[in-house]
Structure 1
């Protein structure tokens, strides 16, 4: 679906009501209607390079284990033993040969099939061949790994048009450099709302305002995506020279691309008022020297975003807030996201 940058409905658009951000039932509904039915960024290819390399993650409360198979493919298995729910792995690691439950030792192959169990010889009609770990969906794209519990839109729709729009840049030509993890005391949608509009940049991010051309900042949206882009200004010390592309993919993935660099963000809803955001930095060799100053700016911007998002969360919980009108010029991407949220709550 081509992205658009205007819609007559924006002339009367209002933001989401406070209860979407403060109600426990709304949060629970989103776990099932949004998170469980979507694609989520869960790893990058360098973490899963060789057979048995693995990453543990969670989607909509379901523990998952993503691992490289002997034939080079990926599988996303439920990280839940079929005996009494013990974990197969904790965290990330390399070169597993099998999956052994950390609770009682039931052992599975890398494909999830049960291979051996201790002390079950007297169990009547116990057939190991009928027991295997459930699987989720997994896709590898441009050096990034995504997973879904099932029922997500077609993956091609999820990433439609991005690779072509970024040419000649290739995300999979960039090498992983560093990770930063932040936790913010706000509902996950407050954080996404904030990401999806540049309206706040002059007021919240004075340093970022000096690196991008705010007057030329554009936003477009459609399908499962929002794109914000702007010419870069300054001497190129932080982001290089050219254009910055901020891609958001429904509901929790952000790809921030500047010349020679990708910063990916994964947003995780840990609770009604708790959000974790994982930043991974990737560079082409020619741009890697910018990492330290890039990181300093990123840390500052994230601290500023966390502060304003936590302020907004408190205001939404105060009882004072009523939905405000949205800026047709600046908040079309945010409006598109909020329309998707409304539709999910109506399912």
Structure 2
């Protein structure tokens, strides 16, 4: 029986049953991750006609490309012939989309144009054959996409505007991306991101940079933000750190002079990867090497604790503990959204 949503004041953590097992992994991929709006890259990566990026959303291969009129198109990266990949990697300036399996060619709007060796196929009409579309949108210089049904992007955008300054990426320039592998369920990683409760215990270096005593958490329908003053004139400067989460798997770390975006991708019930991208205001990129080293330190600490927590969740000895109303309200918010999704599935079944 699915957990039911709880009040913050008497909340328990989500049942460990949801953190392992192939059936829950498949459910999460199809009904939560594929259906959730998420950052897949900066708009600058698809700024010009034919520029394209290749990603995976909820286990589904996707392709996003800018057409000749400047419109952003999203498709499943799946040829209509025999399911071959249209593109194998990110690229720039493509004039057309050519399947990497048998060479079928589509225009940048997904319409099939050329089909080699199909002249003897009777009644074969390519005019009605197009790549299957997915939804795409742009916000503050970022490309968002989803490959399932869920809330409209207008609702997501309204929530983002409440927790993150709409101009937070203005003037920011993409610098690089790191991929972190974590031997834990994707939800274990998200749970960890959503609270600063562990920072004084796990992250000595990070704890020295933020004012944990004035850590604040705010919630909207689909998003949350953790914020704290940050004083570090040497690396980050002085200002506010804002850790924004967008359900189900996207994060924006808004820091003085820079922004980091994270997307958590579920690989299996016990493994996820985190796409961690760095953006800087001009002049701040000189700190990128030290910034990257510090981020690596924090991620190593998070990886360690998430992997140990995953072991604990699967130990058979754990029953859900109480949540701290002051420190774990964003965890409660995320887990209640999951509870509703799981309960809806149980009702359907």
Q: TM-score range by the shorter chain?
A: over 0.9
Counterpart in the other structure of 1:155? 153
**How far 1:201 moved relative to its partner?**
0.1
Instruction: Tell me the distance in 1 between the aligned counterparts of 2:131 and 2:262.
Output: 29
Change in CA separation of 1:168 and 1:144 when aligned onto 2, cut-off 3 Å: closer
Normalising by structure 2, we get a TM-score of: 0.94
1:99 aligns with 2:135: no
Unaligned runs of 5+ in 1: 1-7
Alignment RMSD (CA, Å): 1.6
**How far 1:289 moved relative to its partner?**
2.6
1:60 aligns with 2:58: yes
Instruction: Tell me the distance in 1 between the aligned counterparts of 2:306 and 2:335.
Output: 16
Does the 8 A contact of 1:163 with 1:170 survive in 2? no
Change in CA separation of 1:258 and 1:31 when aligned onto 2, cut-off 3 Å: same
Does the 8 A contact of 1:220 with 1:227 survive in 2? yes
Q: Deviations over 1:27-68 (max 9, x none)?
A: 211222211221021111121121111111111222111011
Runs in 1 of length 4+ with deviation above 4 angstroms?
163-169
SS in structure 2 opposite 1:28?
helix
**How far 1:312 moved relative to its partner?**
0.7
Does the 8 A contact of 1:214 with 1:230 survive in 2? yes
SS in structure 2 opposite 1:71?
coil
Instruction: Tell me the distance in 2 between the aligned counterparts of 1:346 and 1:164.
Output: 28
Counterpart in the other structure of 2:322? 325
Change in CA separation of 1:315 and 1:225 when aligned onto 2, cut-off 3 Å: same
Instruction: Tell me the distance in 2 between the aligned counterparts of 1:166 and 1:32.
Output: 28
Counterpart in the other structure of 2:258? 261
**How far 1:324 moved relative to its partner?**
0.5
Counterpart in the other structure of 1:74? 72
Instruction: Tell me the distance in 2 between the aligned counterparts of 1:200 and 1:261.
Output: 24
Aligned residue runs from structure 1 range 292-307, under 5 A: 292-307=289-304
Q: Deviations over 1:165-223 (max 9, x none)?
A: 65595313200111111110000000000000000000100000000000011111120
Instruction: Tell me the distance in 1 between the aligned counterparts of 2:170 and 2:105.
Output: 34
Does the 8 A contact of 2:41 with 2:144 survive in 1? yes
Does the 8 A contact of 1:169 with 1:260 survive in 2? no
Instruction: Tell me the distance in 2 between the aligned counterparts of 1:133 and 1:88.
Output: 9
SS in structure 1 opposite 2:196?
coil
Instruction: Tell me the distance in 2 between the aligned counterparts of 1:105 and 1:286.
Output: 45
SS in structure 1 opposite 2:339?
helix
Instruction: Tell me the distance in 2 between the aligned counterparts of 1:140 and 1:338.
Output: 27
Counterpart in the other structure of 1:291? 288
SS in structure 2 opposite 1:172?
coil
Does the 8 A contact of 2:97 with 2:106 survive in 1? yes
Does the 8 A contact of 1:54 with 1:93 survive in 2? yes
1:277 aligns with 2:274: yes
Counterpart in the other structure of 1:5? none
SS in structure 2 opposite 1:241?
strand
SS in structure 2 opposite 1:89?
coil
Aligned residue runs from structure 1 range 151-300, under 5 A: 151-160=149-158, 162-163=160-161, 166-167=164-165, 170-234=168-232, 236-300=233-297
Change in CA separation of 1:153 and 1:23 when aligned onto 2, cut-off 3 Å: same
**How far 1:121 moved relative to its partner?**
1.2
Does the 8 A contact of 1:248 with 1:254 survive in 2? yes
Normalising by structure 1, we get a TM-score of: 0.94
Counterpart in the other structure of 1:337? 334
Unaligned runs of 5+ in 2: 1-5, 345-349
Aligned residue among 17, 22, 37 for 2:15: 17
**How far 1:9 moved relative to its partner?**
1.9
| Count of residue pairs the alignment pairs up | 340
Instruction: Tell me the distance in 1 between the aligned counterparts of 2:139 and 2:215.
Output: 28
